[in-house]
Every structure is written in C-alpha cells, then in structure tokens.
Amino acid sequence: MSTLSIVSGHLIDPEHGFDGLADIHIQAGRIHAIGPVPWGFEAERCIDASGLLVLPGLVDLSFHLGGGTLAQALDTEGQAALAGGITSACLRPDQATILDRPEAVDQLLAEARRHSAMRIHPIGALTLELAGERLTEAAALRAAGCCALSQGRHPLPDCARLRAALEYAASFDLPVFLHPKEATLSHNAVAHEGAMAIRLGLPCSPAAAESIAVIQIVELARLTGASVHLSALSAARSLAVLGFLTADHTLSVTADCAIHQLYLTQDGLMGFAVDHRLDPPARAAADRDSLREGIAHGLLDALCADHCPIAEQFKQTPFAQAAPGITAAELLLSLTWMLAGQLELPFGQLLAMLTSHPARIARLEQGHLGIGAPADLCLFDPSTTWTVRPEELHSKSHCTPFLGSTVQGKVMATFVAGRQVYSYPQGC
C-alpha cells in the first residue's frame, strides 16, 4: 500500500515539539503531510485513531535476540518488538553469533530482511570474539552496516586497552557503546552487593563496580575524543559521577538505563527468584529512586528495553547458574507511560528518550514524524490495561519479573515504512 491516512489521533512527536490532535498522511513509506489532506493526495486506506496516541516508532539501543536459530529468533523477537512499538532495534554484538566480522553482519542483515519487518541496526564487536585482546576491523564493520561498536556485557580488562579501542573507534568516527563494569570487582557476581544478596549467600558486586567504570570511561572519552554511550546504568553513584564529570558539556558522552531498573530492587531476589537474575542486577531502592530522579533532571538521555530472552531451561537452575536476561520489549512503552504518571512528568519528555534521543545517539534517521521522515510509527491506547501473561507475549521467552502484573497502555498497531506490521487482536 503506497498511501495511508491516520486520522483523529493524538499525535506526539517530541523532536518537533508537537503534542495534539492531528491527521497524518503517508506516501511511499514516508511522512507526506500532517494536518489537512494535501492537494492531490488520495489515501488508499484510512485508519480512525480516535482515542489513540500516534507516536514515532520506538528506537531501542540494547536488543538481544536470544538463542535458537537466527531465523526463528528474528521472527519471534522481531514480532515481540513490533508488538511493543519498537520499529528500530540496535542489536548488541554478543548475539549467538558474535558480530565481530563483516560476514556475520552480512548474514544477520540478510536473515533480517527475510524474517523480520523490524529495522535491524547491528552494533559491531569492539574486539574479536569479545575477548578483549585484538581489535576488530572497524572500517569493515561500518561498511557492513554497523551503527556503533561495543563489548556487549564483556568489559575490557584494563584502561590501556580501553584507551586504544576508543582511539581506534574515534579515528573512524564510530560511536562506542560500553556497559560500565569494573572487571575485577564484578567477576562472577550474580547480584548487587546488598543486604538481600548477602543474606542469600550469592556472589555479588558493589555498585562501585559500575561507578568506577563510569569514571574510567568518561575520562578516557575526554582523553581520546571518542563518542561514548554508557549502556544500562543502574547505580545512584554512577549518575552522580557522570553528572559531575560531564558538567562542562564538552564531551560526547550519553547514557541510558533499562526500563526495568526504574521499577525493580534487590528485594526481588527473595526466594532466589530467577526472573530477577539480571545484568546489571537490580540494586537498592535508593538506586532505583536516583535513576528516576536522573530522568527528571535530564541526567539520562535514553531508556531501553534491554530485551534479552532466556529459554526456560536456562532459568530452571540454581540462581547463581541461571543465565541473566529479561523479556521486556512488549512492556517498554506501557512501563514508560506508567512511569510518566508516577513521576508527574509530561509523557512526551519520556517518549523522547525512546525515540528521537536514541536515534540521535545511534545516528539513525528514524525516531520522529517530520515531513519526509520514514513512516515508522505506532498507535498506542493509554486507556487499556492488561495483565502480563505468557499467552499475551510474542517473545519465545516469558522470563520477566512483571509476569502476573497489570500494566497500563497497549500498542494497538505498528507501522514500518508506512506498512502495517503488527495489529493487536482487539485493535486496528
């Protein structure tokens, strides 16, 4: 279908400061007009979006496909993402096949074209096999389609190698996504070093393992001039040192946190609940509250799902042996909608952290609804409540601490390049 009109919806586009009722008209996969029907435009399909929010498709900066065959993972997790309104996903390099060579990226993108309507943006590995030793061919990975480089959840062993890696990436003008984790303090840890983990006798690491790494990364970004994005911050002290070190606004350093970190705490470990086996771990209530304050004060640039589906058999083990991960793509927008209400912030402020801000960080053209932009958008019903049950989820994994919870807001339809790629059964 080459032309489409979505009428009577409440359009929110943080990039252009638009928040109000408006019709949107799509032609040849791009936004053609907003407002009255332009002269000569004739919609082949018209959707009544009364009572719905018309939003830019979400851009997620940390997405993992999980195990299984690549085709199956792209199918199930791509559908889960689209059901959550995510139209563009930046894939971490630590997939089942590590994205450390152009051939691996080529295979991923070829399979993605066949098995998923979601836009896939690979993040290339910073070092071969993510082993922290030999640097990958940055130019070749960029040419293959990588939007950034990263070590995934595998920290580099020392500052000297991190400096060399940042200098190398900067020479090719490639952003580097880093998960701050001081290797020696976090080695073999499975939980936050707090009262609950100590009581349960779990191997744990302090929040300082993250904040120390933040200091190292930011100072090396200053030294090398690299563009650095800090992924999945979880600790109050990390935000404090980040705010202090970047107060002069001269560095190209951004940061995000996973949506579940704004809800969960270490108390979820009670009873060795393996759904709370996360990386980074849920921390103290004070950390969660500081992350929430960080959003209100602009210390965090983006929110992400940090979607990482784990098969049931890898969770049905003792807590310390369970694989870390969470199914979160389908909850991202609902949890963000609820969070805006809890923080008494305009929803558009948080929506920017899911759309235009992450698109800018990853240097993508998506994330907004400006004239000529790709027609990637979703229709969201803020009045619908739903209970998170396995049968409601499209992901192959149902491992989430939110299972059984009732959440507010549901994606009714998702469009990529003007083509409807998801429809809620009771929706459009």
Summarised one tens digit per residue, pLDDT across range 190-243 is 999 999 999 999 999 999 999 999 999 999 999 999 999 999 999 999 999 999
pLDDT at residue 313 above 80? no
CA torsion angle 105 111 117 121 (round to 10)? 0
Query: What was the pLDDT predicted at 1?
Result: 56
- Using CA atoms, how far apart are residues 417 and 151, in angstroms rounded to an integer? 31
Phi, psi torsion values for 135, nearest 5 degrees: -70, 145
* Contacts with 367 (C-beta within 8 Å, 6 or more apart), sequence order: 15, 56, 57, 59, 88, 355, 356, 357, 358, 359, 360
- Using CA atoms, how far apart are residues 388 and 355, in angstroms rounded to an integer? 24
The arrangement of secondary structure in 61-361, i.e. its CATH architecture, is Alpha-Beta Barrel (3.20)
Radius of gyration of the chain (CA): 21
pLDDT at residue 308 above 90? yes
Task: Report the amino acid identity of residue 27.
Answer: Q
Average pLDDT over residues 158-169: 95
Inter-CA distances, 125 with 169, 217, 285, 293, 319, Å: 11, 17, 33, 32, 29
pLDDT at residue 111 above 60? yes
Reading the block at residue 403, the tokens are 């299972």
Inter-CA distances, 55 with 7, 107, 244, 253, Å: 13, 31, 34, 27
Mean pLDDT of the chain: 95
Summarised one tens digit per residue, pLDDT across range 370-406 is 999 999 999 999 999 999 999 999 999 999 999 999 9
pLDDT at residue 64 above 80? yes
Reading the block at residue 357, the tokens are 């801000």
- Of the chain, the percentage scoring pLDDT greater than 90 comes to 90
Number of alpha helices (DSSP H) and beta strands (DSSP E) in the chain: 12, 18
Average pLDDT over residues 69-93: 96
> How many Cβ atoms sit within 10 Å of the Cβ of residue 145?
16
CATH class of the domain whose range is 3-54+374-393+406-423: mainly beta
pLDDT band at residue 54 using 50, 70 and 90 as cut-offs:
very high
* Nearest alpha-carbon partner for 229 in 362, 119, 109, 77: 362
Average pLDDT over residues 325-351: 97
The verdict on whether omega for the bond into residue 102 sits within 30 degrees of 0, i.e. cis, is no
- Using CA atoms, how far apart are residues 106 and 110, in angstroms rounded to an integer? 6
Query: What was the pLDDT predicted at 395?
Result: 94
Are 119 and 82 contacting, i.e. CB atoms less than 8 angstroms apart? no
Catalytic one of 256, 301, 306, 381: 306
Q: 378 in helix, strand or coil?
A: strand
306 as an active site residue: the answer is yes
pLDDT at residue 68 above 90? no
Query: What was the pLDDT predicted at 311?
Result: 82
Query: What was the pLDDT predicted at 428?
Result: 64
Are 367 and 355 contacting, i.e. CB atoms less than 8 angstroms apart? yes
- Using CA atoms, how far apart are residues 5 and 127, in angstroms rounded to an integer? 46
H-helix segments, 319-424: 332-343, 347-352, 356-361
Query: What was the pLDDT predicted at 280?
Result: 95
pLDDT band at residue 425 using 50, 70 and 90 as cut-offs:
confident
- Of the chain, the percentage scoring pLDDT greater than 70 comes to 99
Query: What was the pLDDT predicted at 2?
Result: 86
Each domain of the chain, given as residue ranges in start order, spans: 3-54+374-393+406-423, 61-361
Q: 406 in helix, strand or coil?
A: strand
Inter-CA distances, 347 with 51, 55, 268, 342, Å: 16, 11, 27, 11
* Nearest alpha-carbon partner for 153 in 28, 375, 323: 323
Query: What was the pLDDT predicted at 426?
Result: 65
- Using CA atoms, how far apart are residues 325 and 314, in angstroms rounded to an integer? 10
Query: What was the pLDDT predicted at 200?
Result: 92
* Nearest alpha-carbon partner for 215 in 184, 249, 238, 185: 238
